[in-house]
Amino acid sequence: MLTAMKFAPDQAAFDHADRAEAPVAAGNAGDGCGAAVCVASVEVAGFSEERLRSRIGLIGRAESRLAAMKAQAVAELARLHNAVAAERIVREEL
């Protein structure tokens, strides 16, 4: 079983079928999830190879966005405190 991710700013990245399966990402609590990203399990058994390839690409793009979000948050922690404190917080939280 793979997961589906949907980001609020780029909902067009999902094809119509994925929109029906994936939860909507939340930019704020009013969007439903109360977090920047919602991730839900989606059963992929029976998907065509084309759809599986599309899903893998989608997951790769989502992982890149998550990495960028994490880097921005760590940079802001380092700005607020220092690099050592930011690294400590990342270790604690991850």
Using alpha carbons only, give the angle 84, 85, 86 rounded to the nearest 5 degrees. Answer: 90
Distance CA 57, CA 72 (A): 23
| pLDDT tens sequence across 62-89 | 999 999 999 999 999 999 999 999 999 9
Residue 17 lies in a domain: yes
For the entire predicted model, the pTM comes to 0.58
Residue 37 lies in a domain: yes
Distance CA 73, CA 62 (A): 16
Domain extent for 24 = 2-66
pLDDT at 57 over 50: yes
Average pLDDT over residues 39-66: 92
pLDDT at 16 over 60: no
Contact 6, 24 (CB under 8 A): yes
Q: Look at the chain and report how many structural domains it folds into.
A: 1
